């Protein structure tokens, strides 16, 4: 089908084509899917010039339209990031294909053989904003797990996503799989996103990635089942026994390495018994990196180079070099603060107290709970998934970084030899 013909298709026609492609993908063997992934990885690198030209245009439009610094960082691609995306696709190709994996099974007393196996969802819809890396990540994970992907990447990255999807489609088709296995519906704008949310019967599951507003809109308005990814109001708690150098390194890395992403630290909690020992060095290190400290009264009394925190600060996902800091009475108050303000994404404790470690792990109800580690490790790539669909903060089906198995459902296979029910 020519590019002109594809461009004139209605959204419903695109969804129907995705449904047809999903049937082919569901029975494609791992070797064929892996060849498609290798083709995608090679094409992303070989097409870097075209991709980066489109990305430059999107960045220029973003600056002109007042796109935030954090979103500009998420939008930006360069040769290093493209190479990283290609490497992630190649890693997905090396992972075990989840389709057909036996989850459990048994033989009934009547001789029936039961097995529960993983199967693709079918068509996965994803709505996201200013994140062209998601286009490649989702395409590769969906393909390996036997799903077709319909992508609404938002106006901020429309030019980049159009080129990326074209590159991916050509790569998929080059190995004999349907190009319609990955599609963008950006040309339909916000109306397209609304139709995607209503496309029950065409789309099997919908995954939103982006701002809290975007995610809430999809959750509330969608008729398609939704896997909810969440905003990251992420916490680190420095316990009374925290090692000072660990505290400095973990807080610095969690906040500064890449502040625009959802696993970046947003609120630092410090045990009052350790505040005077830890805060001067920890916060001085952050200030040297350009971080603005929003401190409560007890923080301001210890570290004067800060601004007073407001109630809104505790609920804010800054996605910038800003950090809220609160001194708490102890572990109980730290856990209470997290329960009240957390988005249930990632929380970490820095401690040498085994009892407090176990309490924190047991009582903090977030998708990822850490001990003595940077929150930046909450990531599908870091967890060994190659890439990630998103970080689910809900409790049904998938929670935390979502990889291949989270893009599958299951079905029961029953093998008999003439049995009938009495």
- Residue carrying the six token digits 């339909």: 188
Fold category of 3-227+402-415 in CATH: Aldehyde Dehydrogenase; Chain A, domain 1 (3.40.605)
Helix (H) or strand (E) holding 205: strand 205-209
pTM of the model as a whole: 0.84
Pick from 91, 59, 93, 57: which is nearest to 75 by CA? 59
Instruction: Give the integer Cα–Cα distance in Å for 158 and 28.
Output: 30
In the chain, the largest separation of any two C-alpha atoms, in whole Å, equals 80
- Please state the rounded mean pLDDT for residues 322-328: 98
pLDDT (tens digit per residue) in 227-285: 988 788 999 999 999 999 999 999 999 999 999 889 999 999 999 999 999 999 999 99
State the CATH architecture for 234-377.
3-Layer(aba) Sandwich (3.40)
Could you tell me the two tokens for 333? 């108050």
pLDDT (tens digit per residue) in 118-176: 999 999 999 998 889 999 999 999 999 999 999 999 899 999 999 999 999 999 999 99
Distance separating the N- and C-terminal Cα atoms of the chain: 55
Helix (H) or strand (E) holding 293: strand 292-295
Percent of the chain with pLDDT over 70: 98
Asked whether the domain spanning 234-377 has the same topology as the one spanning 3-227+402-415, the reply is no
Domain ranges of the chain: 3-227+402-415, 234-377
pLDDT (tens digit per residue) in 368-403: 999 999 999 999 889 988 888 889 988 888 899 989
**Cα angle for residues 347, 353, 358 (degrees, 5° grid):** 55
């Amino acid at each position: 089908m020519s590019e002109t013909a594809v461009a004139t298709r209605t959204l419903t026609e695109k969804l129907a084509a995705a449904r047809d492609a999903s049937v082919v993908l569901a029975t494609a063997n791992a070797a064929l899917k892996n060849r498609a992934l290798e083709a995608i990885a090679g094409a992303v690198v070989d097409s870097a010039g075209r991709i980066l030209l489109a990305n430059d245009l999107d960045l220029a439009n973003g600056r002109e339209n007042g796109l935030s610094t954090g979103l500009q960082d998420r939008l930006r691609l360069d040769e290093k990031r493209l190479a990283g995306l290609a490497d992630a696709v190649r890693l997905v190709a090396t992972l075990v294909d989840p389709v057909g994996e036996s989850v459990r099974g048994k033989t009934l007393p009547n001789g029936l053989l039961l097995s529960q196996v993983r199967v693709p969802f079918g068509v996965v819809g994803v709505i996201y904003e200013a994140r062209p890396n998601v286009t490649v990540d989702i395409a590769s994970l969906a393909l390996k797990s036997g799903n077709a992907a319909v992508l609404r990447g938002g106006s901020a990255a429309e030019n980049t996503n159009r080129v990326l999807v074209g590159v991916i489609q050509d790569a998929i088709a080059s190995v004999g799989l349907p190009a319609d296995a990955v599609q963008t519906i950006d040309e339909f704008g916000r109306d397209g996103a609304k139709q995607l949310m209503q496309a029950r019967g065409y789309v099997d599951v919908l995954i939103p990635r982006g701002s809290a507003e975007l995610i809430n809109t999809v959750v509330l308005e969608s008729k398609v089942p939704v896997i909810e990814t969440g905003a990251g109001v992420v916490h680190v708690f420095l316990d009374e026994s925290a090692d000072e150098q660990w505290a400095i390194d973990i807080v610095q890395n969690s906040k500064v390495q890449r502040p625009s992403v959802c696993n970046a630290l947003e609120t630092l909690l410090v045990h009052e018994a350790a505040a005077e020992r830890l805060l001067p060095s920890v916060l001085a290190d952050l200030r040297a990196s350009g971080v603005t400290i929003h401190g409560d009264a007890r923080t301001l009394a210890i570290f004067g180079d800060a601004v007073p925190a407001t109630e809104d600060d505790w609920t804010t996902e800054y996605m910038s070099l800003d950090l809220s800091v609160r001194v708490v009475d102890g572990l109980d108050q730290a856990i209470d603060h997290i329960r009240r303000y957390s988005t249930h994404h990632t929380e970490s404790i820095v401690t040498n107290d085994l009892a407090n470690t176990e309490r924190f792990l047991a009582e903090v109800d977030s998708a990822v709970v850490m001990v003595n580690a940077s929150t930046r490790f909450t990531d599908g790539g870091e967890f060994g998934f190659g890439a990630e669909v998103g970080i689910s903060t809900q409790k049904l089906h998938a929670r935390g970084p979502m990889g291949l198995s989270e893009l599958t459902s299951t079905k029961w296979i029953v093998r008999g030899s003439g049995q009938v029910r009495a």
